[in-house]
Amino acid sequence: MSQTEATPRAAEQPVKISAGGVKKAKAAGTKVITANDLFSGAVVYWKADGSWTEELDEAQILEGPAALDALQRAVADEANAVGPYLMDVEDDHAPAGRGRLRETIRKAGPTIHPQFGRQAQRL
């Protein structure tokens, strides 16, 4: 097999996207848009109605061009959120992919301070 056959043309590969921290990911698979709340810094997720929620389960699951379109709208919402990006999720909203641990910790709070963060509010 030639090199050209083995590697799809660049234009056919999923777009590289910002994935939190300094990492990049591919815009393939199911996604949720996440950011930090401007006022509190809390982790927030994009809802279907264009607002933000602190509950990952309430986030809109997106895929493909729809995810990139929504991300553009989220990035434009400067008044409420800081640094939106697409994170990988399973169909049930569970964080997935390379950022799974990072997003699990963002969702729940620091693992070494169970009395703080989102998890504390649910105790």
Partner 1 sequence: MYRYDDIDRAMVADRVAEFRRQVERRIAGDLTEEEFKPLRLMNGLYLQLHAYMLRVAVPYGTLNPRQLRVLATIARDYDKGYAHVSTRQNFQFNWPKLKDVPDILDLLAEAEMHAIQTSGNCIRNTTTDPFAGAARDEVEDPRITCEIIRQWSTFHPEFTFLPRKFKIAVSATEHDRAAIAVHDIGLQIVRNAVGEPGYRVLVGGGQGRTPHIGQWIREFLPQAELLSYLEAILRVYNVYGRRDNMYKARIKVLVNEMGIDAFRDAVEDEFAHFRAMGPGGSVDLPAEERARIAGFFAPPAFEDALAFSESFDDALATDQRFASWVRSNVHPHKVQGYVSATISLKPEGAPPGDITDTQLEAVADIAEAYALSDIRTTHEQNMVLPHVKLDDLHAVWQGLDEAGLGTPNHGLISDIIACPGLDYCNLANTRSIPVANRIQERFSDLEHQAMIGELKIKISGCINACGHHHVGHIGILGVDKKGEEFYQLTLGGSADENASIGEIVGRGLSTDEVVDAVERVVERYLELRSSESERFIDTYRRLGADPFKEALYAEAL
CA–CA distance, 46 with 121 (Å, rounded to integer): 21
Q: Which residue from 78, 92, 121, 123 is in contact with partner 1, where contact means CB under 8 A?
A: 78
- Residue 29 lies near partner 1 (rule: CB under 8 A): no
Window 44-73: residues binding partner 1 (CB under 8 A): none
Scanning 9-17, 20-28, 44-52, 58-66 for contacts with partner 1 by CB under 8 A, the matching segment is: 20-28
27 versus 84: smaller Cβ distance to partner 1: 84
Distance CA 51, CA 65 (A): 20
Question: How many Cβ atoms sit within 10 Å of the Cβ of residue 87?
Answer: 26
Q: Where are the alpha helices (DSSP H) in the chain?
A: 3-6, 64-76, 100-108, 118-121
SS3 83: strand
Applying the rule CB under 8 A, the residues between 87 and 116 that interact with partner 1 are 97-102, 105-106, 109-113, 116
Encoded amino acid at 34, one letter:
T
Element (H, E) at 103: helix 100-108
Nearest approach in angstroms of CB 65 to partner 1 is 25
Instruction: State the minimum distance, in angstroms, from the CB of residue 106 to partner 1.
Output: 5
Task: Give the footprint of partner 1 on this chain (CB under 8 A).
Answer: 20-22, 36, 38-43, 78-79, 82-83, 97-102, 105-106, 109-113, 116-118
